[in-house]
């Protein structure tokens, strides 16, 4: 993590930024939401399957084709997310709209009303950080917000979902953190930006680091005791595709 990004984290109190150094069984129950909790991410203690509804807003007015293309990108992310959680978290619904923050750039997040947004998508030319994509804790519709460029890679999206998805109690951060911040390199974890195989680290293959005393899955299971981890890092069958609602603002 660069000095600038460390400073941003301090100034924003709970802002987590990340950058990609490298690139690029259907359950019929409804969304699992703790009373009073959000639908956009897995509230601590949620019972699987956690089925998310995510509000996605394009900053600018874009053609319907652009929103449809991003929906396809999110459908791919949904399959990957279902696998890395071993069939415990998927996206059930996407609400995609446009013209939400015209004229803005991605680094202006603290000047924008993000109260209706879970994810905001900027054109690559308007995405100038922090990082290649980022997540803020304490912002957005329910307290977790993701800012991404429209050309984000699926692997980077999964890394950002690691920041976005959980509500964790360890002292280092309320979510999964960037494992590339401290050595040694943890080649087992997509939070380290290693994507083959696509997985979060578990204790048998985690490399202890100064900033992270144990594995991602160890902490997930502490805060989500109804979750399980078999070590397969895959689901027995693909998830259903999310339903998609488009709002094409004039």
This prediction has a pTM of: 0.87
> In this structure, are residues 41 and 175 in contact, taking their beta carbons and an 8 Å threshold?
no
Give per-residue pLDDT as tens, 178-193.
988 888 887 889 999 8
pLDDT at 209 over 80: yes
Measure Cα distances from 96 to 111, 161, 172 in Å.
22, 17, 33
CATH number at residue 137: 3.40.390
Give per-residue pLDDT as tens, 88-106.
999 999 999 999 999 999 9
Query: Which residue range forms the structural domain that includes residue 206?
Result: 3-247
Give the integer Cα–Cα distance in Å for 55 and 47: 22
Give the model's confidence band at 19: pLDDT under 50 very low, under 70 low, under 90 confident, else very high.
low
Number of domains in the chain: 1
């Amino acid at each position: 993590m660069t000095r600038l990004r460390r400073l941003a984290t301090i100034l924003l109190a709970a802002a987590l930024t990340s950058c990609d150094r490298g690139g690029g069984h259907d359950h019929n129950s409804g969304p699992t939401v703790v009373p009073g909790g959000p639908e956009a991410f897995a509230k601590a203690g949620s019972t699987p399957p956690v089925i998310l509804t995510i509000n996605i807003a394009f900053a600018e007015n874009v053609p319907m084709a652009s929103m449809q293309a991003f929906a396809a990108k999110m459908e791919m992310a949904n399959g990957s997310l279902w696998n890395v959680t071993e069939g415990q978290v998927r996206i059930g619904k996407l609400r995609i709209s446009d013209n939400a923050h015209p004229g803005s750039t991605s680094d202006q997040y603290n000047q924008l009303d993000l109260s209706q947004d879970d994810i905001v998508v900027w054109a690559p030319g308007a995405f100038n950080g922090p990082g290649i994509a980022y997540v803020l804790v304490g912002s957005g519709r329910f307290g977790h917000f993701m800012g991404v460029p429209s050309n984000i890679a699926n692997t980077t999206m999964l890394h950002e979902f690691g920041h976005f998805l959980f509500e964790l109690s360890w002292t280092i951060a309320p979510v999964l953190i960037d494992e590339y911040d401290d050595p040694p390199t943890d080649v087992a974890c997509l939070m380290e930006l290693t994507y083959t195989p696509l997985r979060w680290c578990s204790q048998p293959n985690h490399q202890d680091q100064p900033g992270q005393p144990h594995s991602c899955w160890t902490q997930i299971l502490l805060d989500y005791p109804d979750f399980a981890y078999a070590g397969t890092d895959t689901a027995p069958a693909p998830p259903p595709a999310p339903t998609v609602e488009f709002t094409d603002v004039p």
